[in-house]
């Protein structure tokens, strides 16, 4: 479901420091960019098609309209403890920094951070431990000081390599100016037609390249082969269908562009590290 976020007194940044028995907000998305820092608590995070465990010190940034929720670990649930989860949520509009500011070198690194965050980023403990102190200071601040501390935090996030991308390619937002016109045509074709059979010759002609030249070009631009990219799009869509829970695993297989169930199960497990049925269980269990 879509969450509408109110900003008190038209503030630029909204911060919530919460201590609860467990996370309560369901699967949702919102226009705002979100930073979530867990001081205490453990469980499972769901970000688009990604399912991972979280523990104290977990730090993530989620781009605009990226579906997500955090679920507390039932194994350690203690009904008598009112503060099993301690976390800080920072939310701000994606246009906090206007597009015109990104032409300056000082802000261009933050633009790149926002592009990567469209798939969600989880930071490694080595970085999260240091950033956590800044986040606590930000939560304790107000007014312009809070905005300045947010910019400092975003700058630190933008300049570290200690992170992993969470969601699959399907959730990636392609920004104007990042890709040339040739690649933009290819990406638009793939993002619409990935569920259908795609011939290399057809996609190469779209880019006005010989098939072998296209393969080198695509790998250079995306860091993936064409087949790897298409498979990741299909898996992302399959995960989305599984989370919706309206189709059987067999139906999900063929709807997402795979034409063989055993092949789908094998690729899914190799990539997601669990079978489609296990993925369904992890998401839908209560």
Which tokens is 204 given? 């190469």
pLDDT of residue 177: 46
Mean pLDDT by 10-residue block, N- to C-terminus, for the chain (286 residues)? 71 92 80 94 85 91 90 62 82 87 86 92 94 96 94 96 88 56 79 87 91 91 86 88 90 93 94 90 74
pLDDT of residue 119: 92
Q: How far apart are CA 122 and CA 144, in angstroms?
A: 27
The three-state secondary structure class of 17 is strand
Domain ranges for the chain: 8-167, 178-284
Q: How far apart are CA 264 and CA 260, in angstroms?
A: 6
pLDDT of residue 82: 56
| CATH architecture under which domain 8-167 falls | Sandwich (2.60)
Which tokens is 107 given? 């802000």
Domain topology for 178-284: Arc Repressor Mutant, subunit A (1.10.10)
What contacts 246, CB < 8 A, 6 or more positions away? none
DSSP string, 30-68: -SSEEEEEEEE--EEEEETTEEEEE-TT-EEEE-TT--E
pLDDT of residue 1: 58
pLDDT of residue 50: 84
pLDDT of residue 284: 77
H or E segment and range at residue 268: helix 261-272
């Amino acid at each position: 479901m879509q969450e509408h976020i109110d900003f008190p007194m038209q503030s630029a940044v909204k911060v919530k420091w919460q201590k609860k028995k467990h996370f309560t907000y369901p699967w949702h998305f919102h226009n705002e960019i979100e930073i979530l820092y867990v001081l205490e608590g453990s469980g499972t995070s769901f970000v688009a098609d990604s399912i991972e465990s979280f523990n104290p010190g977990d730090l993530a940034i989620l781009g605009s309209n990226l579906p997500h929720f955090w679920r507390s670990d039932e194994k350690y649930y203690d009904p008598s403890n009112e503060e099993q989860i301690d976390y800080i949520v920072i939310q701000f509009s994606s246009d906090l920094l206007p597009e015109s500011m990104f032409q300056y070198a000082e802000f261009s690194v933050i633009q790149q951070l926002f592009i990567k965050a469209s798939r969600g980023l989880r930071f490694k403990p080595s970085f999260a431990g240091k950033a956590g102190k800044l986040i606590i200071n930000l939560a304790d601040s107000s007014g312009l000081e809070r905005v300045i501390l947010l910019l400092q935090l975003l700058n630190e996030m933008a300049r570290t390599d200690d992170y992993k991308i969470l969601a699959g390619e399907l959730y990636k937002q392609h920004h104007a100016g990042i890709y040339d016109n040739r690649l933009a045509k290819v990406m638009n074709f793939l993002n619409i037609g990935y569920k259908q059979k795609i011939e290399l010759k057809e996609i190469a002609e779209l880019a006005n390249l010989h098939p072998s030249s296209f393969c080198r070009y695509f790998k250079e631009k995306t860091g993936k082969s064409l087949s790897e990219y298409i498979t990741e799009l299909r898996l992302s869509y399959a995960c989305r269908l599984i989370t919706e829970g309206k189709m059987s695993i067999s139906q999900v297989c063929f709807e997402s562009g795979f034409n063989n169930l055993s092949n789908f199960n094998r690729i899914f497990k190799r990539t997601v590290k669990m079978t489609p049925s296990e993925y369904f269980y992890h998401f839908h269990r209560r």
